[in-house]
Amino acid sequence: MNILVAGAGGFIGHHLVNRLKAEGHWVRAADTGHPQFEPSAADEFLVTDLRRLENCLQATDGMDDVYQFAADMGGIGYISNNHASLTRNNTLISSHMLEAARVSRVRRYLYPSSACVYPVFLQDSEDVTPLKEDEAIPANPEKGYGWEKLFTEQLTGYYHEECGLDVRIVRLHNIYGPLGTYDGGREKAPAAICRKVAFAHDGGHVEVWGNGEQTRSFCYIDDCIEGLLKIMESGYTKPINLGTDQLITVDGLVDAVCRAAGKRLKKVYDPAKPLGVRGRNSDNSILRATTGWQPSISIEDGIKATYDWIAAEIAKALQPVRV
């Protein structure tokens, strides 16, 4: 098939392009820039601003499937301090991409939403009950990014109901792995912790945001890509969770990174930094029932692969320049 991956310069989009090319598809990539760490395998790469409708029309023209990963986003530090610009940029991208998909008569359209759409009042305890898809309404999502994602879920549903667009709405839960941003302010928690541990000397310390007791489930990128393809083939058009249901504390995540690095480090807590919700976990009942599959890569294996890649990148950056 002819497939568009919008946001193909980013972490998930880049991995998705690699998988789709490995399966023999013709892939068009679109983003404001190329991938940071390795060249894209896409057949065509459009460097373009998808906040503009005419650029979305160019990107979707002639495509069978669209994976719409183009977004302004980052880790909790970034999304907590950029509500206005992030919400504006993503609303423009997502609404124009949906309209372009309709005009271009795209066959299938996948929108990656986020667990940030779930009500904050369901996530105020570390011992959180796994979040079910029907609990997003009545709405009280996270400020900015969560509201934008929930709005776009609704808009995507309207295009399905009124325009016949065959949609998939996937609520991602904390995706991590190699080839993702690990510094600069937009990195997610696993990558940030890997970077901090890589720079720390054995016996030293590592900074942890909050008190370390907040909980999350983390999904390795290979499981994420497999899940996206299975959901696209499923025919399921309502919102669906994609993540692991294995809850871990931030302290536990730091410990896993330290084991991967072979280092003993003291944790130094900073409660003043953005924390997000106290606890979040994925209920995978619909995912299992719909696809017969769920993520299986352990946090230990995923973190080891992620840490090894980030540590190698840092080591390369620290090598002296030869003239």
Has 236 been annotated as catalytic?
A: no
Give alpha helix (H) positions in 47-144.
53-60, 76-79, 83-103
CA 67 to chain centre: 13
- The burial class, CB within 10 Å (0-12 / 13-18 / 19+), for 286 is middle
Give phi and psi for 86, each to the nearest 5.
Answer: -65, -45
Asked if residues 86 and 151 have their Cβ atoms less than 8 Å apart, the reply is: no
Q: Which of 78, 109, 145, 307 is catalytic?
A: 145
Q: ∠ CA(8), CA(223), CA(18), 5° rounding? A: 35
286's enclosing H/E stretch is: helix 285-291
Tell me which DSSP letter residue 36 carries. Answer: S
Residue 248 and residue 245: Cα distance in Å, rounded? 10
- Joined together, the tokens standing for residue 96 give 């124009």
253's enclosing H/E stretch is: helix 250-261
How many CB atoms are closer than 10 A to CB 38? 10
| Catalytic residue annotation | 145
